[in-house]
Amino acid sequence: MVPRNTSKALPARVADWPAAIYGVLKSHRVRQVSYVPDAGHKRLIELCHADREMAAVPLTTEEEGIGLAAGAWLGGERAALLMQSSGVGNCVNALTLASNCGFPLLMLVTMRGETGERNPWQIPMGQAAPEALRLAGVRTLRLERAEEASAVTSTAAKVAFEEQGAVALLISQQLIGVKSFEEKR
Amino acid sequence: MKALDRREVVASLLERRGGLLVVAGLGAPAWDCTAAGDHPLTFPLWGAMGSACMIGLGLALAQPRRRVLVVTGDGEVLMGLGSLATVGAQRPANLAVVVLDNERYGETGMQKTHTAYGTDLAGVARACGFATARIIRRNAEISDVRSGIYRGKGPLFFQVKVEPDAPPLVLPPRDGAYLKHRFREALLGAQ
């Protein structure tokens, strides 16, 4: 069985991978962070909301964040877009902005439908997400282990803002933990 | 009563535009903005339908001291209706949205949109938290729209009822990377 949360075994400083991602967003001067929430992004969303230098923008659907990032870039700011893998399909047509205009795009995607998923309805989009992104012209990188969060996120941010490319960092379900569907005691 | 002339409305809104930043939704609204004068600080869309308001929001958040105007169509805004809620939640004081509502999908054969069947877009915008949300039917009201765009407290939403005609095509450049670069250079200087 897949452990609920592999990061529990790590020292607190290393295990706090959302804080490591947040630190990379700060060092790359990301000012607009939009999201459709996922439990795996809970802490990162809270960190962004608490930051007065960042606009944390809740979306009704993930594709809105592609437009927001384009507008931010036109205005001289950098953006990031947080979602779970089921939101990738919602983005496909809007990704025209990245591939056609060359807008930088940094997507942070928490994966569902991988090892140990207990909701079968999450599996089709989760399994298709990497290929759907590739077809839409978005590079993908994987984050598997908490201690790599800073380095891998930094690589993704460089692809977005220095190469001015479109990139999605796919955050492994093993790292996030599997949703149990059991009542909390 | 005859509805308003879309080209005249847009020309009135964009004359003496100063530092106004404009996002033009795909199709006729982009042609209308181009007919009023191709401008580096207009970003016209050729695709990504439903994104115009969100691009306007990202721009308005990034440039809080500049006024930002989204000029788009009823079909385009209907595809991104949720973005009105997203704008309402952020309440950008410097953002205005003008919907040129001809109640038709003008680029695909003039099929009726939901506004022809009664969808009240201004009502949706009001319910989403826009500071001002009005339906505009008369030429005499265009000066109100103008003062709202340039000086009013946003977010503002104006649903302007226009004739379902098809004025001559006046096309903006269609190279998206060029449109992006020239906008940023005009706004931010050489990058």
ipTM of the modeled complex: 0.97
Of A183 and A19, the one with more pLDDT: A19
Domain coverage including residue A152: 6-176
Q: For residues B115-134, give the mean pLDDT.
A: 98
Query: A48-67 burial by CB neighbour count: b if 16+ within 10 A, else e?
Result: beebeebbbbebbbbbbbbb
Cα separation, B56 vs A25, whole angstroms: 23
Domain membership of residue B179 (yes or no) is: yes
Q: What is the pLDDT of residue A7?
A: 47
On the question of pLDDT at B59 being above 80, the answer is: yes
- B92 with B60: CB under 8 angstroms? yes
pTM for the full model?
0.95
Domain coverage including residue B75: 6-188
Q: What is the pLDDT of residue A14?
A: 55
On the question of pLDDT at B41 being above 90, the answer is: yes
Nearest to B59 among A57, A66, A74 (CB): A74
Residue B153 belongs to domain with CATH number: 3.40.50.970
* H helix or E strand, kind and range, residue A135: helix A123-135
> Testing the interface with A: which of B21, B45, B53, B55 to mutate, by most A Cβ within 10 A?
B55
Domain membership of residue B171 (yes or no) is: yes
Residue A116 belongs to domain with CATH number: 3.40.50.970
CB contact under 8 A, B63 and A59: no
Of A184 and B28, the one with more pLDDT: B28
Closest residue in chain B to residue A100, using alpha carbons only: B176
On the question of pLDDT at A13 being above 60, the answer is: no
- B88 with A107: CB under 8 angstroms? no
Q: What is the pLDDT of residue A184?
A: 65
Confidence band, pLDDT 50/70/90 cuts, at residue B47 = very high
Name the domain count of chain B. Answer: 1
Domain membership of residue B19 (yes or no) is: yes
Name the domain count of chain A. Answer: 1
Q: For residues A141-163, give the mean pLDDT.
A: 97
What is the CA B165 to chain-centroid distance, rounded? 18
Residues from chain B that touch A94, judged by Cβ atoms under 8 A, are: 48, 50-51
Domain membership of residue B137 (yes or no) is: yes
Q: What is the DSSP letter of B5?
A: P
Domain membership of residue B125 (yes or no) is: yes
Domain membership of residue A78 (yes or no) is: yes
Torsional sign, CA B79, B84, B89, B95: positive
Domain membership of residue A181 (yes or no) is: no
Domain membership of residue B1 (yes or no) is: no
Domain membership of residue A133 (yes or no) is: yes
Residues from chain B that touch A70, judged by Cβ atoms under 8 A, are: 51, 54-55, 58
Domain membership of residue A1 (yes or no) is: no
